[in-house]
Amino acid sequence: QVQLVESGGGLVQAGGSLRLSCAASRTLFSISAVGWYRQAPGEQRELVAAVTTGGYTNYLDSVKGRFTISRDNAKSTVYLQMNSLKPEDTAVYYCKLLAFRSWGQGTQVTVSS
């Protein structure tokens, strides 16, 4: 339905930072809230952050104060700034337009101790 491309993952030391990006189709992006999800091995995929079309944000309790989600509607892009990373943040991260069904390929985030 829509194409999503995540980027920005990598390997970092605990306490480090990464910035993830997700590019989407302009028309659909502009009318939908956007979420970042993550899935660790053996775990369910979980919503970690979301932003509405009006800029309201919400976060998983374990990432509050460390992660910041933002959107640039002109660029049809959503970002996830991740600071003070912990080993338990290790997962594949995906973005999704919450009003639609499509997922991107994901980007791996690995945090070493």
**For 69, which DSSP code?**
E
Q: How far is CA 97 from CA 13, 59, 91, 109, in A?
A: 30, 16, 19, 20
Q: Is pLDDT of 2 > 80?
A: no
42-65 average pLDDT score: 97
pLDDT exceeds cutoff 90 at 86: yes
Please say whether the dihedral angle defined by the alpha carbons of residues 31, 1, 3 and 89, taken in this order, is positive or negative: positive
Of the chain, the percentage scoring pLDDT greater than 90 comes to 89
Q: For residue 1, what pLDDT is reported?
A: 64
Question: What's the mean per-residue pLDDT of the chain?
Answer: 95
pLDDT digits (tens, 9 = 90+) for 7-37: 999 999 999 999 999 999 888 899 999 999 9
Confidence of residue 77 (pLDDT cuts 50, 70, 90): very high
Statement: residue 60 has pLDDT above 80:
yes
Tell me how far CA of residue 113 lies from CA of 15, 36, 68, in angstroms. Answer: 9, 23, 22
